[in-house]
Amino acid sequence: METVTHLARPLYAAALFAVVALSACSAPASGSAPSASGPSTTAASSTAPTASASVASGPFGGYASAAEACDAISTQATGASLLPLSAAQGKTAELEQKKAELAETAQRVPEALKADFARLNEVALAGLSDQSVYSNGKFEAAMAPVTSWLSANCH
């Protein structure tokens, strides 16, 4: 019964964050590029991005549009909050796939979000072995700037 209690708290927190992340990004702001909440860096490279760009290279990072960036970032942020559920269910292949998708998204997010999303990725992965990140506020703190970015850039 103690195991159920230890799993219930992180899963409840994960579900709460999933709702917040999904409600923050229902559609992109009309015709506008994502805005940076801080100073932004523009790539000086003149090479054209490829369809499978894996690095943040434009106003939408490695994504072709604001809609695509908002959808992917929201989906992966929600997925990060649900990693413990996949781990608890013993779905190793699914867990590895979700971890890989989260890491790919961390590489493709716009530059203004890159450090924050990398931190979310790091904390989410740490939560697989140390579920206290959900009860001590570390996951919530890592999710906050991502949720703020989604709120500011995806409407």
Distance (Å, whole) CA 100 – CA 115:
17
Compute the mean pLDDT over every residue in the chain, rounded to the nearest whole number: 75
Q: Could you state, in order of their start, the residue ranges of all structural domains in the chain? A: 66-155
Distance CA 83, CA 64 (A): 27
From the list 111, 43, 33, 41, the residue with the least C-alpha distance to 68 is 33
Q: What three-state secondary structure class fits 61?
A: strand
pLDDT in tens, 45-84: 333 333 344 455 678 889 999 999 999 999 999 999 999 8
Predicted confidence pLDDT, tens digits, the chain (155 residues): 455 445 545 544 444 444 344 444 444 444 444 444 443 333 333 333 333 444 556 788 899 999 999 999 999 999 999 998 888 898 899 999 999 999 999 999 999 999 999 999 999 999 999 989 999 999 999 999 999 999 999 98
Q: Give the number of C-alpha atoms closer than 13 A to the C-alpha of residue 135, restricted to the C-beta side.
A: 9
Query: Are the C-beta atoms of residues 139 and 127 closer than 8 Å to each other?
Result: yes
